[in-house]
């Protein structure tokens, strides 16, 4: 019986595991070895780790966490989680494990826009997060995907790194007269047609094509991705979810099921930076450890 099983060996899960080790608790990290950020060569914004590759970051993080007695890692995929009165049973493709608590730190499921050749450029010249990659895209001609919820925010934000933008609604809706006037005054181009294709070589996009037959030269892209936490292994749990499908939690990551917690991107239901996930994993782990200490006191 483990004190906790951590599902996901990314920055949130491994940061949590390190803290469980330092808290003298036993923790099993189960990770399939398929991180969402494997498409990129560098990660940024993490003090002392700026520019580190995701692969190297995980290698160092695993070494740190596994240096503590009671912390172990299984390279496996979780198939199911069941809750009994006193504990959890976690079934994987290879085995079955029991624990007093479970932390969901598996990140989020990601879906790319349905644009021909998009995957060839994602992570090298097409990104979604300006905080992560805006610096590398600075002063380039950028295509910026928006919808009705982001059209008033994203162009403004991206203009911090480049003022040579083409705003793309990808057929999701018309641009208001107010925004047309704003974009005109800013010198931004826009196209409301569906994006059909990206072109370029060696991971560097150089043009974007639209359903209306037009094309534009670009040197980078800020895309819109879709994310959720509808993992198959959660189907047997009656988790409370919000209007957008997010797992409902309190500030400490506690879900509607006692003993089941979320951390990192699984908690926020949004793609974030390594430093944010690692910090949240540590915070949630400390609260979970306090719950264990209180229970045993």
pLDDT tens-digit map of 173-202: 889 999 999 999 999 999 999 999 999 999
Q: What is the pLDDT of residue 35?
A: 80
199-218 per-position pLDDT tens digit: 999 999 999 999 999 999 99
Q: What is the pLDDT of residue 18?
A: 98
Which residue ranges make up each domain of the chain? 2-110+226-296, 113-222
pTM: 0.92
Task: Tell me the C-alpha to C-alpha distance, in Å, between residue 109 and each of 147, 154, 194.
Answer: 20, 22, 24
Task: Tell me the C-alpha to C-alpha distance, in Å, between residue 232 and each of 4, 33, 119, 129, 280.
Answer: 20, 17, 24, 27, 24
pLDDT, mean of residues 268-278: 90
Fold of 2-110+226-296: FAD/NAD(P)-binding domain (3.50.50)
* Tokens encoding 93: 């493709």
Task: Tell me the C-alpha to C-alpha distance, in Å, between residue 249 and each of 241, 261, 282.
Answer: 9, 8, 16
Q: In the predicted model, is pLDDT for residue 51 greater than 90?
A: no
Q: In the predicted model, is pLDDT for residue 103 greater than 90?
A: yes
Helix ranges, the chain (H):
11-22, 54-66, 118-121, 130-133, 154-158, 177-186, 265-268, 274-296
pLDDT, mean of residues 57-72: 96
* Tokens encoding 17: 């595991």
CATH topology match: 2-110+226-296 vs 113-222: yes
119-162 per-position pLDDT tens digit: 999 999 999 999 999 999 999 999 999 999 999 999 999 999 99
| CATH H-level, domain 113-222: superfamily | FAD/NAD(P)-binding domain (3.50.50.60)
Phi, psi of 149 (to 5 degrees): -85, -20
Neighbours of 183 (CB within 10 A): 18
Phi, psi of 191 (to 5 degrees): -145, 125
Q: What is the dihedral of CA 228, 116, 41, 135, to 10 degrees?
A: -90
pLDDT grade, residue 284 (50/70/90)? very high
Q: In the predicted model, is pLDDT for residue 38 greater than 80?
A: no
């Amino acid at each position: 019986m483990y004190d906790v099983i951590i599902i996901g060996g990314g920055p949130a899960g491994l940061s949590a595991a390190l803290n469980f080790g330092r808290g003298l608790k036993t923790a099993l990290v189960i990770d399939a070895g398929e991180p969402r950020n494997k498409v990129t060569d560098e990660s940024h914004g993490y003090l002392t780790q700026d520019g580190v590759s995701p692969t190297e970051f995980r290698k160092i993080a695993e070494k740190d966490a596994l240096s503590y007695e009671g912390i172990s890692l299984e390279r496996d995929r979780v198939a199911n989680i069941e809750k009994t009165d006193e504990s959890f049973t976690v079934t994987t493709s290879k085995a079955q494990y029991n624990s007093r608590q479970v932390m969901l730190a598996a990140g989020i499921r990601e879906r790319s826009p349905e644009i021909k050749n998009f995957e060839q450029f994602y992570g090298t010249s097409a990104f979604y997060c300006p905080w992560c990659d805006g610096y590398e895209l600075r002063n380039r001609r950028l295509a910026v995907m928006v919808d009705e919820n982001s059209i008033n925010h994203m162009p403004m934000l991206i203009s911090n790194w480049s003022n040579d933008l083409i705003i793309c609604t990808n057929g999701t809706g018309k641009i208001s007269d107010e925004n047309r006037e704003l974009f005109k005054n800013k010198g931004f181009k826009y196209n409301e047609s569906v994006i059909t294709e990206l072109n370029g070589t060696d991971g560097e996009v150089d043009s974007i094509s639209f359903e209306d037959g037009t094309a534009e030269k670009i040197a980078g892209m800020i895309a819109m991705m879709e994310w959720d936490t509808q993992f198959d292994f959660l189907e047997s749990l009656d988790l409370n979810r919000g209007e957008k499908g997010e797992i409902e939690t309190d500030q400490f990551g506690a879900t509607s099921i006692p003993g089941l917690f979320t951390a990192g991107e699984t908690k926020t239901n949004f793609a974030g930076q390594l430093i944010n996930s690692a910090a949240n994993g540590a915070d949630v782990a400390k609260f979970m450890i306090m719950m264990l200490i209180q229970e045993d006191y």
